[in-house]
Amino acid sequence: MSVEISSTFSFSLCPLSDCSKDGQVKMTESSLPVYNFDGIKKRYGRKRTIPLLPSSADALYLSPGGAWYFIEFKNGKIDEVDVTKKIYDSLVILSDWHEGCIADIDFSRNNIIFILVYNPTKYRSSQESSSRNMLYQHLEQQSDTRKVLFNLDRYVGYIFKNVVTCTPSELEEILV
């Protein structure tokens, strides 16, 4: 974990479960320590005296191996425009914080992974079927890749090192 980041954002350190709340419902019970990026966004807005707060991912996790993860929890409808705004605004906040927590977009392309955690009981594709899901799962296992939902794969290599969409039960295995 970066010493600069840990001291800069120490005010927002909390368990991942706190960042996963949708009202009073937690999407995960994980105690993994993360930075509450909504809290960072609020402090950034006050610092820059921005009348309308930017959007942001819910959490920032820095793995012991050096990877950075933006994590966004969606318990209901997924709006691609809203998620895109959160992606861009989160990167602006990181690059503009003090002297810049990230030097440039190349840092993001090489080090940051975006994870969108969705509620599988509330997300249904109009084309979804159990046979198709079994085929996707088989292909994912064979290719050692995951299907990226919500058209977010367009950000791989462009803004992020990787993008992952997953359910709450899949999240911890991805972060370990």
Full domain range(s) for residue 66: 3-175
| Distance, CA of 107 to CA of 22 (rounded, Å) | 30
Structurally, the chain folds into a number of domains equal to 1
Enclosing H/E stretch for 117: strand 112-118
Enclosing H/E stretch for 33: strand 33-36
Instruction: Indicate the pairing of strand 33-36 with strand 21-22.
Output: unpaired
pLDDT at 136: 53
The single-letter DSSP state of residue 147 is P
Along the chain (176 residues), what's the average pLDDT of each consecutive run of 10 residues? 68 96 91 96 94 96 93 94 97 83 87 95 62 56 69 95 95 85
Whether 54 contacts 1, CB under 8 Å:
no
